[in-house]
Structure 1
Amino acid sequence: MTDAIRPSLGLVGRIFLILLLAITLEFTVSTFLHERAGQLRVEEDEAHRVAEHLAAASRLLNASPRSDRPELAARLSSETFIVEWHPNSLPLMPMAAPLNEMRTQIIGWEPALGHENLRLHLKEPGRNGKVTGQLSLADGSSLEFRAMQLVDPSRLRINRFLLALVPAIALILIGGLLLRRVLSPMRMLTRAAVRIGEGDAVVLPEVGVSEIRRVIAAFNEMQARIHQLITDRTEALASVGHDLRTPLSRLQLRTEAIDDPFLRHSIQKDVGEMEAMVASLLAFYGGDSDPEKPVQTDIAVMAATIVDDASDMGDLATYDGPDHLEIVVRPLALKRALSNLVENAIKYAGGAEVTLRTENDRVILCVEDDGPGIPEEELEHVLQPFVRLDLARSRDTHGLGLGIPIARRVAQKEGGMLRLSNRTTGGLRAEIDIPLG
């Protein structure tokens, strides 16, 4: 029956049952401890002392003449234990139930006192804790006594508080452990979400209460759909890119037959722009499924090669850095990112200054230019895809605004970042900051 009910019990129901169990146990334990504390149990040495006083007083008074008993009772009294003798029998007062255990302790030390009608009472409870009592002597007279400060009310209050605190803390810990166990699938779900955000595929087991199992099932279905959409998108882009490049290549060849040099150059330029746009789209939208693996790469040679290629094309580009610096990166992706930044600097500012340095186990590839820069309020905006700030730069530009976003994605995939800032002397500074290890 329990196994049949358990799967249908949801997260809210389990938390409610845990809280109800904790409250019930706390109330039961606290009530029990309160009743135990209310019995006003004295320590064994105190009970022993009272038993000895009463036994000695009763024996001496029984053996003494009645005329000597008042004086003897006064001599038997002290500051903490007062004895009075009464010639007649005192009425037997009912004894409070909480003092039964104290009476049992006293009689345990002196069994003879159990035959003398020992009665205990608490005088002025809650103030000074005086325990009074009486017992009958052999000739029918009575002995009355007062034991001072056997029960310390302040100590009882502190002890009662501490005793109640112990089960409360224990129940809180138990409740926390139970809640932690119930919610452990949520932590598993959180870790899986982080891994999926980094590009991993994670299939979670459907465990836990019904609500969490449904969330995990929906999560698995969602990531399956996302990965399928990414796969479909990449395949579609690859197909479209292939289909577009073929006619573009034919168009490029056919432009050679155009006799007009100006017209031929214009058409070739337009075809080149279209090819660059297709390449940018494929690089940006196909980056998530890029199969390239990190390998040992000399990024100093890579940077110098990019600068040399730009110089060979007649552009102004310089390199400043070590001749060799090997780290583990995805070489093709990093080369594309650095090439995008260099092309942007040449396109918008007419030249690029590339520097390579290491700082605190980090590698920094810096591309600077002497152009107009980017307004401070737009520095974050240009990191988004398809954003172009042509009004702040040259109007004779082409592209889809994917060069910087691609560089940013490549830097993040290498465990680093892309930083953009304006130089104090004018121009833009773009830094790819990645780990050295």
Structure 2
Amino acid sequence: MDCERLFAGISHGLKTPIMRLKLRTELLDDEALKVDFHEDPDDLYVMVKAALQSVRDTDIHENLMSVRLDTLLGRLAKRPIHPDASIECTTEPLSVQGNPLALERALSNLMDNAVLFGERVQVRLTRQGARALVEVRDFGPGITQASMTAAFEPHVRLSIARSILQAHGGEIRLHNHVEDGLVVTVLLPAISPADALPT
């Protein structure tokens, strides 16, 4: 059994005692104590769900196929999480090999995060040598160096995206734009567009 399956098994196993603990707190007579006891199992349950989702998102060992990044990014740009968001998407035909659902989760995480920082977002896809380069820029205030480090802590939106992209042979970088906003740069191994299927 590999590490991912072992971790997933442990996480699934934790669900039962957590739910049992929640049920037992309902039997407490002290209402204030009941509320306090509810918080810990609730926190544990959220952590377990996040851990399981992270394992699912980074498991790309199956269902590998060619993915048109330009098609995927264009589709994601049309459905921002905020109704007032403006996402400008500029792409060229570029494709990568990978799990389309995992890549969609990673890139949508980056775009959703950009919308949260600043409702105006620019997405650009270009070729850099043998790699596809995706830049996601928001027009918010930018973030500090400490926040950039914290952005990749476990179960944070950008951390999950980075795990998925690294599993695809890619990398992710953060920097503040010289004018304003945060720029997230993604690099992934590119393949020939002729070999790719629309996403």
Distance in 2, matches of 1:327 and 1:348, equals 28
Shift of 1:296: 1.1
Letter in 2 for 1:413: A
Unaligned stretches of 5+ residues in structure 2: 19-45, 192-199
Q: Is the 8 A contact 1:311 1:317 kept in 2?
A: no
Q: Is the 8 A contact 1:234 1:289 kept in 2?
A: no
What are the within-5 Å matches in structure 2 for residues 125-164 of structure 1?
none
Distance in 1, matches of 2:68 and 2:178, equals 31
Aligned to 1:411, which of 165, 176, 181?
Answer: 165
Shift of 1:300: 0.5
Q: Is the 8 A contact 2:84 2:119 kept in 1?
A: no
DSSP 3-state at the match of 1:433: strand
What are the within-5 Å matches in structure 2 for residues 318-333 of structure 1?
318-322=88-92, 324-333=93-102
What are the within-5 Å matches in structure 2 for residues 298-337 of structure 1?
298-310=68-80, 313-322=83-92, 324-337=93-106
Distance in 1, matches of 2:135 and 2:48, equals 27
Partner of 1:33: none
Shift of 1:347: 1.4
Q: Is the 8 A contact 1:418 1:431 kept in 2?
A: yes
**Correspondence 1:367 to 2:136:** yes
Q: Is the 8 A contact 2:58 2:167 kept in 1?
A: no
Shift of 1:230: 3.8
Cα displacement string for residues 91-124 of structure 1 (whole angstroms, at most 9, x for unaligned residues)? xxxxxxxxxxxxxxxxxxxxxxxxxxxxxxxxxx
Letter in 2 for 1:330: N
Aligned to 2:6, which of 214, 221, 232?
Answer: 232
Say what the alpha-carbon RMSD is for the aligned residues.
3.0
* Structure 2 CA distance for partners of 1:290 and 1:313, relative to 1, 3 Å: same
Shift of 1:419: 0.6
* Structure 2 CA distance for partners of 1:343 and 1:364, relative to 1, 3 Å: same
Shift of 1:311: 7.6
Shift of 1:320: 1.0
Q: Is the 8 A contact 2:58 2:102 kept in 1?
A: no
Aligned to 1:295, which of 62, 65, 74?
Answer: 65
* Structure 2 CA distance for partners of 1:329 and 1:283, relative to 1, 3 Å: same
Aligned length: 164
Q: Is the 8 A contact 2:174 2:183 kept in 1?
A: yes
Q: Is the 8 A contact 1:352 1:368 kept in 2?
A: yes
Letter in 1 for 2:113: N
Higher strand share: 2
DSSP 3-state at the match of 1:357: strand
Bigger radius of gyration among the two: 1
Higher helix share: 1
DSSP 3-state at the match of 2:79: helix
DSSP 3-state at the match of 1:352: strand
* Structure 2 CA distance for partners of 1:348 and 1:311, relative to 1, 3 Å: closer
Unaligned stretches of 5+ residues in structure 1: 1-223, 245-275, 387-401
What are the within-5 Å matches in structure 2 for residues 16-415 of structure 1?
227=2, 230-237=4-11, 280-287=50-57, 289-310=59-80, 313-322=83-92, 324-386=93-155, 402-415=156-169
Letter in 2 for 1:431: T
Cα displacement string for residues 259-282 of structure 1 (whole angstroms, at most 9, x for unaligned residues)? xxxxxxxxxxxxxxxxx9876433
What percent of counterpart residues are identical?
A: 24
Letter in 1 for 2:138: D
Shift of 1:382: 2.0
Q: Is the 8 A contact 2:60 2:99 kept in 1?
A: no
* Structure 2 CA distance for partners of 1:289 and 1:312, relative to 1, 3 Å: closer
